[in-house]
Structure formats: structure tokens, C-alpha cells
């Protein structure tokens, strides 16, 4: 059945490609003169010609996805209000933003990062980590974005994170009790109103996704050319090149009471 499923998908793509090609060659609006419903099921034999065409492509993709890029000491799950996995992603996102800020000659402001745990779609297994694992973890084409927010806006940001049950953060901690943000700290220093901060996040959240509307109030916005998924892969490769096995902290950065 798996073989038949691949055949059916490729057959649809080829039919669609043929239809588009025909449409592009004629100025007149394409139309069907007749139609017939053909039931596709396992009784239809696979096409050796199609299989021989897609096999090299499929094998190439599988080779890329099965490449081992690192190792972990424990299985890591995405779960609110935060886990070792969300800490790991938030930490590397913040480190990537530091490099981005340095290269773009931006001001030296305190920096935090925020990643939505709902956007982490799969756990990372214990042991070998492959490229495919990272695509499962983050299947989206989200890019790194750096925003500039005031202390008051950071408090509003923390209030949203607390209200929504937590999310991944790095460079910051706070307690959320009785719908109030308590003891907020940035880089272990008290959050200050009137001061500005940088927040590294995804372009999805930066545009107000997942109800992060506070990000749309940012006074500055820098969109990196780097995709977050690529940053994760590069970071793991870098750790591996130094013989480091992934074992992130599971400290609580968002404390819900």
C-alpha cells in the first residue's frame, strides 16, 4: 500500500504538470470536454517507468533526511510552560540573534528570545539526531526576526506568555501569579520600564501569530535571511564538531503559580 500511495501521488503530480504545461501553451482558457471518474486503489499496478524516474529523487531525499548530525542524552518533548527542548531552541535562537546583531552593527541592548512551543511539532529522540528529526520538529519555513520593544511592552509580552500557559524563552525569567507578571528579569537584571530590549523570535510570531500581537508594536524590526530550522541544524552540527552531546537544561524560566 505504501508503494501504491507513492504511485498515486506521483500520478497526480504528472497529470497536474501536464495540464499546466498545456494551459501555458495556449492563450485560450483551458477547459475539459469530458470527464470520467477513475477509482484508484491497490488493484492498479505500479508503473515501472514512473518508479524508475522517481526512485533516484526519493533515494536522494532519504539520504539527506537520514544524515546523523548530532546526539542527545535524553528524549526531549515540547510541552508548556517549558521544557529542556524549548530551552534548547530558545537558547540557540538567542545565540544566533547575537551574531546577527553584531554583524548588522545594531545597538548593544539586552537580548531575549521567544519561541512558541505549539510550533515545535515533534520531540527529539534520545541518541542520534537526524536532519529528518529537525524537519519533523519544525516543518515550517519560519525566519529569525529581531524586534525592539520597551520595558512596558516586554511586561505585556510576559503577560501574554503567562496567560497562554507558557512558551520557550531565553535570557529572561518571571513568575505569573493571579494574572500578574512578578519578578521579571532580563539577563538576571530586573526589567526596567523606559529601557529598550531586543527580542529574537520567528517571523510568524513577529507578525502577530499565535496572538503575539504585542510584537506588532515593535519600534524596530530586523528580518534575518536565516530560517530557524537551518539555524537549529547548523547549531547541532557545530556542537557535534566539538564533541558535545546535546543535554540542555530543564530549568523553569516561566513559573506559573
Q: How far apart are the first and last CA of the chain?
A: 50
**pLDDT for position 32:** 56
- Look at residue 154 and tell me whether its pLDDT is greater than 80: yes
**pLDDT for position 21:** 43
pLDDT tens digits for range 132-141: 999 999 999 9
Closest Cα partner for 97 from 188, 246, 241, 199?
Answer: 199
**pLDDT for position 81:** 96
What confidence tier does 11 reach under pLDDT thresholds 50, 70, 90? Answer: very low
Written as nine digits, the cell of 13 is 503530480
Ordered by where they begin, the domains of the chain are 2-65 (no CATH), 68-256 (3.90.780.10)
- Section 95-122 average pLDDT: 94
70, 129, 226, 238, 239 from 242: Cα distances, Å: 11, 16, 23, 7, 5
Written as nine digits, the cell of 96 is 544566533
249 in helix, strand or coil? Answer: coil
- What phi, psi does 216 have (nearest 5°)? -75, -10
- What phi, psi does 105 have (nearest 5°)? 55, 40
**pLDDT for position 28:** 54
- What phi, psi does 226 have (nearest 5°)? -90, 135
Written as nine digits, the cell of 1 is 500500500
pLDDT tens digits for range 18-62: 444 444 444 455 555 666 776 767 777 777 887 777 777 777 788
Distance in angstroms (rounded) separating the CA atoms of residues 257 and 255: 6
Comparing 238 with 31, which gets the higher pLDDT?
238
**pLDDT for position 159:** 98
- Section 213-230 average pLDDT: 97
- Section 119-143 average pLDDT: 96
Full-model pTM: 0.79
Amino acid at each position: 500500500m505504501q508503494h501504491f500511495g507513492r504511485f498515486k501521488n506521483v500520478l497526480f503530480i504528472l497529470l497536474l504538470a501536464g495540464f499546466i504545461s498545456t494551459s501555458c501553451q495556449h492563450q485560450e482558457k483551458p477547459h475539459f470536454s469530458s470527464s470520467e471518474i477513475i477509482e484508484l486503489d491497490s488493484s492498479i499496478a505500479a508503473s515501472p517507468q514512473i518508479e524508475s524516474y522517481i526512485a533516484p529523487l526519493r533515494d536522494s531525499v532519504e539520504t539527506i533526511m537520514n544524515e546523523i548530525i548530532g546526539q542527545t542524552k535524553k528524549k526531549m518533548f515540547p510541552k508548556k510552560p517549558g521544557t529542556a527542548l524549548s530551552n534548547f531552541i530558545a537558547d540557540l535562537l538567542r545565540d544566533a540573534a547575537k551574531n546577527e546583531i553584531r554583524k548588522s552593527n545594531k545597538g548593544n541592548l539586552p537580548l531575549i528570545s521567544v519561541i512558541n512551543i505549539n510550533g515545535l511539532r515533534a520531540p527529539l529522540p534520545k541518541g542520534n539526531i537526524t536532519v529528518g528529526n529537525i524537519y519533523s520538529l519544525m516543518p515550517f519555513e519560519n525566519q529569525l526576526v529581531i524586534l525592539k520593544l520597551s520595558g512596558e511592552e516586554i511586561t505585556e509580552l510576559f503577560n501574554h506568555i503567562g496567560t497562554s500557559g507558557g512558551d520557550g524563552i531565553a535570557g529572561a525569567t518571571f513568575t505569573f501569579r493571579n494574572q500578574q507578571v512578578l519578578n521579571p528579569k532580563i539577563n538576571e537584571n530586573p526589567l526596567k520600564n523606559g529601557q529598550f530590549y531586543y527580542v529574537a523570535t520567528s517571523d510568524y510570531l513577529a507578525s502577530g501569530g499565535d496572538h503575539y500581537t504585542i510584537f506588532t508594536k515593535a519600534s524596530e524590526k530586523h528580518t534575518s535571511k536565516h530560517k530557524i530550522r537551518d539555524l537549529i541544524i547548523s547549531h547541532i552540527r557545530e556542537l557535534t564538531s566539538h564533541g558535545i552531546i546535546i543535554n540542555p537544561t530543564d530549568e523553569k524560566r516561566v513559573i506559573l503559580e
